[in-house]
């Protein structure tokens, strides 16, 4: 983006306008907000340029995800990156990623490349389709907050396939209601209509059969996993489905590693230990769900 007219035009978008108002109210210079958006648009273009020039379009979606993921290594981990707007709208942030936005961005870029659609608008449309229920932004409750629901809805859209059961998963019997029972942790749920949407989503989740691979069985499933498989770590925390997400990455040594935005390391990394060992380090992690991106 260049020129004063371009900047004025960009200010007309609802996302930038909303964030600009918040920034100004907190004494943040508008130039900083504009630079944030300039940087992200530049990064989108650079990412697509890198992927196109890499000549990997005909690779499997999983292998492309592996390459996109590696291109994010070292990117800062930033929590709560989607909670910047007063009203729900698409957030684009490639300079700071949490575990879910890392997964979503890698998947969005990879799917766009496979489709041969590599403009900024193509990327945004893909991200909306992945992040929101049925690909439609309709308030806070339309975002796929629970990752088991994210997997289910993206399977319905033909974007991923839940392979947990077929590679050795057991029934994951748990009541999911963390958000509706911890409303003070989610300011948007002070709006009853948004809370109602979340409760409807929770009820739908609880009506389905869910599966996970217990941590003791993860290593046995290594041969059935491949680079680009999405991993979600199940948890013993009451009411919650998963606590972390990332991707399988098959190392040159044949090992099965975990590529993710790490809150502990404060950046995107590939784990030093193999996946089962990584899960074993946290006593609250009980196992994993596995979803395989579907080739476009």
The pLDDT tens digits of the residues spanning 85-136 come to: 888 999 999 999 999 999 999 999 999 999 999 999 999 999 999 999 999 9
Q: What is the mean pLDDT of residues 227-240?
A: 98
Is 235 in contact with 284 (CB distance < 8 Å)?
Answer: yes
Report the pLDDT value the prediction gives residue 37, as an integer from 0 to 100: 52
Helix axes 30-54, 99-115, angle to 10 degrees: 50
Q: Distance of CA 77 to CAs 13, 163, 266, 267, Å?
A: 27, 28, 5, 4
Q: What is the mean pLDDT of residues 193-200?
A: 98
Is 23 in contact with 86 (CB distance < 8 Å)?
Answer: no
Is 125 in contact with 88 (CB distance < 8 Å)?
Answer: no
Report the pLDDT value the prediction gives residue 35, as an integer from 0 to 100: 45
Q: Which residue has the higher pLDDT, 265 or 30?
A: 265
The domains of the chain are located at 4-293
What is the DSSP code (8-state) at residue 35? H
- Residue by residue, DSSP assigns 223-236 as GG--TT-EEEEEE-
Report the pLDDT value the prediction gives residue 147, as an integer from 0 to 100: 98
The pTM of this model reads 0.88
Q: Give the CA diameter of the chain.
A: 59
Q: Does residue 79 have a pLDDT over 70?
A: yes
Q: Distance of CA 230 to CAs 5, 187, 295, Å?
A: 42, 29, 14
Beta strand 256-262 pairing with 242-250: antiparallel
Report the pLDDT value the prediction gives residue 234, as an integer from 0 to 100: 98
Q: Which of 274, 292, 133 shows the shortest CA–CA distance to 224?
A: 292
- Enclosing H/E stretch for 145: none
CA pseudo-torsion sign 204, 144, 210, 198: negative
Q: How many helices (H) and strands (E) does the chain have?
A: 10, 10
CA angle 138–290–94, rounded 5-degree value: 55
Q: Does residue 221 have a pLDDT over 90?
A: yes
Report the pLDDT value the prediction gives residue 194, as an integer from 0 to 100: 97
pLDDT category at 58 given cuts 50, 70, 90 is: very high
From 3.40.50.300, 1.10.3670.10, 1.10.150.110, 3.40.50.2300, which CATH number describes the 4-293 domain? 1.10.3670.10
Report the pLDDT value the prediction gives residue 85, as an integer from 0 to 100: 80
- Enclosing H/E stretch for 86: none
């Amino acid at each position: 983006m260049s020129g004063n007219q371009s900047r004025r035009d960009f200010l007309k978008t609802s996302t930038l306008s909303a964030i600009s108002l918040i920034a100004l109210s907190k004494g943040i210079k508008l130039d900083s907000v504009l630079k944030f958006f300039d940087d992200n648009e530049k990064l989108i273009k650079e990412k697509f340029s890198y992927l196109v020039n890499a000549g990997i379009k005909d690779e499997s979606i999983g292998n492309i995800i592996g390459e996109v993921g590696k291109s994010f290594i070292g990117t800062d981990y930033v929590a709560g990156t989607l909670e910047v707007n007063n009203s729900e709208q698409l957030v684009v942030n490639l300079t700071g990623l949490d575990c879910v936005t890392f997964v979503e961005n890698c998947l969005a870029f990879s799917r766009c490349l496979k489709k041969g659609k590599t403009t900024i608008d193509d990327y945004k449309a893909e991200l909306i389709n992945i992040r929101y229920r049925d690909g439609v932004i309709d308030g806070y409750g339309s975002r796929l907050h629970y990752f088991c629901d994210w997997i289910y809805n993206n399977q319905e859209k033909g974007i991923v396939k839940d392979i947990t059961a077929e590679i050795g998963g057991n029934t994951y019997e748990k009541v999911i209601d963390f958000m509706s029972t911890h409303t003070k942790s989610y300011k948007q749920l002070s709006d009853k209509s948004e809370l109602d949407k979340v409760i409807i989503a929770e009820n739908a989740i609880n009506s389905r059969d869910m599966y996970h691979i217990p941590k003791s069985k993860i290593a046995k499933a290594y041969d059935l996993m491949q680079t680009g498989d999405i991993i979600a770590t199940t948890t013993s925390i009451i009411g919650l489905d998963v606590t972390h997400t990332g991707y399988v990455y098959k190392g040159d040594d044949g090992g099965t590693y975990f590529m993710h935005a790490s809150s502990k390391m404060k950046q995107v990394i590939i784990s030093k230990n193999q996946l089962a060992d990584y899960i074993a380090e946290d006593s609250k992690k009980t196992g994993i769900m596995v979803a395989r991106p579907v080739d476009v």
